[in-house]
Chain A
Amino acid sequence: MPDADASGALRSPSLRAYWMAETLRLREALWGPLEDAMEVRRARAEGGEFAQRVLARARHLGRREKLDQLIQQWMQGSRLALTGLCLIALLAGAGAALGALGDGSRPVNLLLALAALLGLNILSLLFWLLSFAARTPASATWLGTCWLWLTRKLARGPDAALVPRALMEVLSRAGALRWLLGGISHALWSIALGSLVLALLGILSARRYSFNWETTLLSPDAFVTITTALGWLPAKLGFAMPSEAIIRASDGLQQLPESAQALWSGWLIACVVVYGLLPRLAGTILSLLIVKSRLAAIELDPGLPGYAELRDRLSPASENAGIDAPSGPAFQAHIQPAEHAFPLADQPLLVGIELPSDRPWPPMDLPAAVADLGVVDSRPQRKRLLDHLQARPPERMLMACDAQQTPDRGVIALLADLAGLAGRGHVALLGLGPSNAARASTWQDRLLAAGFAPEQIHTDLAPALDWLAGTPAQGREARNAHAGP
């Protein structure tokens, strides 16, 4: 049965998967995303392309949310609706046959009977064919749409409306919707016409009918032309057609032989079969074949809203590989005051620590009493400085650092070593501004942790130099004292 084929196409496992995914997508678009960590993990473990993972996630989530049962219910409803429509088609076909031929009390007007049997069918077929020419490929099949409408009425529950909507989306995206609805429509017409032909055969076998043609306006020749033209194709297919003489004689005014009535009933049945049943059967088969091939080529559109956002979770570009070992305690350098056996050198020392080469050094306003040891950067320079301080430790030393740089463990350790060697070692942070306030506080934290006192840290060079040369007043007195006697 063709309708079994129609719902058979909906039963294919792959379509079910896409249908479920679409139902879920629509549901999440309407009511927000579902919690899906477990399902995503399972879909990722199953592997495959992104599209397969989307389908797998939908399968797992659908089972959890009982959407698969909804789809099952809808399928049952759709089958019920289809069966109902088939029954109606059967009855309508038989009814049409009875209505067109009447009860045999009056002769049957051949052309009117044919129009009654085929008119609506031909019209709707033409309409379906015309729908291909329209820009909008609407389904244009009332029966197919009617089936959809019926199934919606049969579905109950809040999510139930989503199921057919999702099916429509999936089918139309696959280019199969119009063909499926067309196929159902053709199949129902085929059933109606089949039952019509059977009813015709039955009635014509069991009752006596006489056939004639009538016209007021047209000439008998026109009727001959129409009848032979209509009979041409059935004759090619092997149906016995009335000859011209019989056609001319069937004007209802002459007595016809019994064989002529049999010929006319054959002509009528042949026309219904050839112009009604066969095109519809062909349409059914064509539509279902196309549905089948379209559904075989069905694929997921990964760019759809709802799917696109899943990509980074289902097919991540990277995954974490873990850590080697938990972090241990951080190493912290401390100032170790050296014990000096001899008095410290009087001359205050100034040293630049890892200053960039584009910073002018030494500073312009360097007090005369201060000795500049230059900028210490490389390993040999460090070594030379440490050796120098070891041999002649100063009473006062100022270490100038670039506040813009990151205070790393190495430089803090160096500052702690140097401060330990001098009697009093202070640090000046150069180039502080509002832009690197956070960096300055990092420097201060690190220096405090290494054992520097807050007053040992200067955030500007000028006060630091004043400290180095002695307080301003003291310095001037000292200089005056030297200049005096």
Chain B
Amino acid sequence: MPDPKQALKLAVVGHTNTGKTSLLRTLTRNPRFGQVDDNPGTTRHVEGARLLVDGQAAVELYDTPGMEDGIALLDYLDQLAAPGTRTDGPERIRRFLDSPESRRRFEQEARVLHKLLECDAGLYVVDVRDPVLGKHKDELAILAGCGHPLLPVLNFTRSPEQRLTSWREALGRLGLHAIVEFDTIAPALDGEAQLYDKLALLLDRHAAPLMTLKNDVIRQRADRHADALRLIAELLVDAAALRLSCPPDHDAVQAATATLRRSIREREAACVAALLKRYNFRSHDFPAHTLPLEGERWGMDLFHPQALKDVGIHVGKGMAAGAMAGATLDAFTAGLSLGAATLLGAAAGGLWQGADKLGKRVLGKLKGYQEISVDDAVLRLLALRQLALLEALEARGHAAQAPIEIAGSPALTPQEQADPDGWRSGKLPDELLEARSQPQWSTLADNYQASARHRDVVQSLTRKLAAGHPGPMGSSAAPPGGLSF
């Protein structure tokens, strides 16, 4: 039995420029690991990373330089073999590691083989856009000489130029039947789980820690999803509850509208930053000047009516355009126009606060003040944008270099038109309607006050969002919607 304290060691090997470092970035969820470039020989040394479960290293992964000279190395290995003697693979590799060329022409290959000899198994990364060539077969023969199991990991499987079938056939001929498909740029939602499953089959002595790691990965994914929906729910409640009051003259209304828009924009940017952080993507993947996000739909201002139309939100006739777009102006009504249910909520909100609030509102009413709040359509847009970003983040590998883009085609997909979550049309969730009547719930407001009801509402909105977006636990292996490379 393996020592439970000893982590399983895996060497990530393969031909040059097939995405070995990318695989490590995606598995470690660390976009800063190593160096990634579309060039041969980007990684020139072995670099390790530990995957932690509860602070303990479960698996050690080693990123190695690419094999570049397999055919010549195999020639050299033959040359090293003393005539008439039969030596096994690892012995031949060791003899090569002692040879002078292991420090010159084959220095990179020597580092790979040295590490693979130390490890329990190797992940052989394949760029399936490459044709199957003789050098790949020779390289695999040398790697197999180390005497450890090899699991081919097929990368770039989502690329249109993939040659998946010929690679599967060729690997099968070489006796490698356990194969896993893992696109490091856009991994399938259950890609990691599949990878660890296959590894556990291959390395049954290490099956237990691999299963622990797999379950941990699944749990973390679910945690991330729940946290993200919570962040979005907080944003929506903050935006829905925000009410600015202003004197009834034109200039003051304009100024208050500008303030409202600025705070909502900043709040959205803060939510985007928090989501990126939670998913461990770099904020500089999204240059500041293009925030919220790149792409037409994202670049468009939150308060522009076209932005609403583009995502299929029905814009009513009453929707103001121009300077007042996206803001709703109410005369002070002392809460009486807000509907019986919300009024009840306000009444039950504690006499102390209620009286205080009511007093202020009545005073405002007497002075003829007006209140500005965010339009329903803007709330819908906020929700749709954040949910689309969440979807993109979940489908994105940490090796991806291109900035996130949410496909901004004017024509909606049939699924989008069906509007499964009811964000494009239909009634806003009750939680947001209730938040409308509770200005002190908005953390953007000066008089923000925490209350248990606020928390309940955020939680119930989170659950509602989760029902529309079940995330990793619900629909596994769904293609990444709207992500373009």
- Residue contact A318 to B29, C-beta cutoff 8 Å: yes
Complexed CA–CA distance, A356 and B277 (Å): 43
Report chain A residues within 8 Å CB of B129: 404
Contact count band on B: 35 or more
The 9 closest A-B pairs by CB, nearest first: A138-B350, A321-B48, A378-B134, A356-B131, A327-B44, A318-B28, A409-B68, A408-B68, A410-B69
Which stretch (A83-91, A165-173, A211-219, A339-347) binds chain B? A165-173
Complexed CA–CA distance, A411 and B62 (Å): 26
Complexed CA–CA distance, A137 and B55 (Å): 40
- Residue contact B348 to A408, C-beta cutoff 8 Å: no
| Residue from B44, B49, B234 within 8 A of A320 (CB atoms) | B49
Complexed CA–CA distance, A280 and B114 (Å): 77
Complexed CA–CA distance, A355 and B108 (Å): 25
Which stretch (A7-15, A229-237, A301-309) binds chain B? A301-309
Complexed CA–CA distance, A442 and B39 (Å): 7
- Using a CB–CB cutoff of 8 Å, the interface residues on chain B facing chain A are 15-17, 27-30, 33, 38-41, 44-52, 55, 57, 60, 62, 66, 68-72, 74-75, 103-108, 111, 114-115, 129-131, 133-135, 137-138, 161, 220, 223, 226-227, 230-231, 234, 274, 277-278, 280, 344-345, 348-353, 443, 450-453, 455
How many residues on A have C-beta within 8 angstroms of the other chain's C-beta atoms? 67
Report chain B residues within 8 Å CB of A414: 71
- Residue contact B69 to A408, C-beta cutoff 8 Å: yes
Report chain A residues within 8 Å CB of B69: 408-410, 413
Report chain B residues within 8 Å CB of A325: 45-46, 111
Task: Give the Cβ gap from B146 to chain A, nearest Cβ, in Å.
Answer: 16
Are A408 and B47 also in contact (CB < 8 A) when A138-B348, A309-B278 are?
Answer: no
Report chain A residues within 8 Å CB of B62: 321
Task: Give the Cβ gap from B477 to chain A, nearest Cβ, in Å.
Answer: 21
- Using a CB–CB cutoff of 8 Å, the interface residues on chain A facing chain B are 29, 47, 134-140, 142, 145, 165, 168-169, 172-173, 175, 177, 302-305, 308-309, 311-312, 315-328, 330-331, 354-358, 377-379, 381-382, 402, 404-411, 413-414, 438-439, 442, 446
- Residue contact B70 to A331, C-beta cutoff 8 Å: no
- Residue contact A312 to B280, C-beta cutoff 8 Å: yes
- Residue contact A331 to B28, C-beta cutoff 8 Å: no
Report chain A residues within 8 Å CB of B70: 410
| Residue from B48, B111, B345 within 8 A of A135 (CB atoms) | B345
- Residue contact A303 to B50, C-beta cutoff 8 Å: no
Compute the total of residue contacts between A and B using a CB distance below 8 Å.
191
Cβ-closest chain B residue relative to A407? B40
CB-defined A-B contacts under 8 Å, sample of 9? A138-B352, A165-B450, A311-B278, A318-B27, A321-B49, A377-B135, A378-B134, A408-B41, A409-B41
- Residue contact A318 to B52, C-beta cutoff 8 Å: yes
Report chain A residues within 8 Å CB of B60: 321
| Residue from B38, B220, B345 within 8 A of A136 (CB atoms) | B345
- Residue contact B17 to A406, C-beta cutoff 8 Å: yes
Complexed CA–CA distance, A332 and B44 (Å): 14
Are A303 and B230 also in contact (CB < 8 A) when A322-B48, A379-B71 are?
Answer: yes
Task: Give the Cβ gap from A113 to chain B, nearest Cβ, in Å.
Answer: 29
- Residue contact B47 to A323, C-beta cutoff 8 Å: yes
- Residue contact B68 to A410, C-beta cutoff 8 Å: yes
Are A303 and B227 also in contact (CB < 8 A) when A318-B51, A442-B40 are?
Answer: yes
- Residue contact A319 to B52, C-beta cutoff 8 Å: yes
Report chain A residues within 8 Å CB of B48: 320-323
Report chain A residues within 8 Å CB of B103: 328
Report chain B residues within 8 Å CB of A382: 71, 134
| Residue from A168, A175, A331, A355 within 8 A of B107 (CB atoms) | A331
- Residue contact A377 to B277, C-beta cutoff 8 Å: no
- Residue contact B274 to A305, C-beta cutoff 8 Å: yes
Most chain A beta-carbon neighbours within 10 Å: one of B17, B71, B138: B71
Task: Give the Cβ gap from B481 to chain A, nearest Cβ, in Å.
Answer: 23
- Residue contact A136 to B350, C-beta cutoff 8 Å: yes
Given contacts A325-B45, A409-B108, 15 further A-B pairs with CB under 8 A are A168-B450, A302-B227, A303-B227, A312-B278, A315-B55, A317-B28, A318-B28, A318-B30, A320-B49, A328-B44, A354-B135, A358-B131, A379-B74, A410-B68, A438-B38
- Residue contact A312 to B234, C-beta cutoff 8 Å: no
Report chain A residues within 8 Å CB of B234: 305
- Residue contact A330 to B41, C-beta cutoff 8 Å: yes
Task: Give the Cβ gap from B276 to chain A, nearest Cβ, in Å.
Answer: 9
- Residue contact A410 to B104, C-beta cutoff 8 Å: no
- Residue contact A308 to B274, C-beta cutoff 8 Å: yes
| Residue from A137, A326, A405 within 8 A of B45 (CB atoms) | A326
- Residue contact B443 to A309, C-beta cutoff 8 Å: no
Complexed CA–CA distance, A328 and B102 (Å): 12
- Residue contact A136 to B453, C-beta cutoff 8 Å: yes
Complexed CA–CA distance, A356 and B131 (Å): 5
Are A47 and B55 also in contact (CB < 8 A) when A311-B278, A379-B138, A407-B40 are?
Answer: yes
Complexed CA–CA distance, A410 and B33 (Å): 27
- Residue contact A136 to B231, C-beta cutoff 8 Å: no
Task: Give the Cβ gap from A304 to chain B, nearest Cβ, in Å.
Answer: 8
Report chain A residues within 8 Å CB of B45: 323-327
Complexed CA–CA distance, A315 and B111 (Å): 31
Task: Give the Cβ gap from B86 to chain A, nearest Cβ, in Å.
Answer: 21
Complexed CA–CA distance, A356 and B167 (Å): 12
Report chain B residues within 8 Å CB of A331: 104-108
Task: Give the Cβ gap from A313 to chain B, nearest Cβ, in Å.
Answer: 9
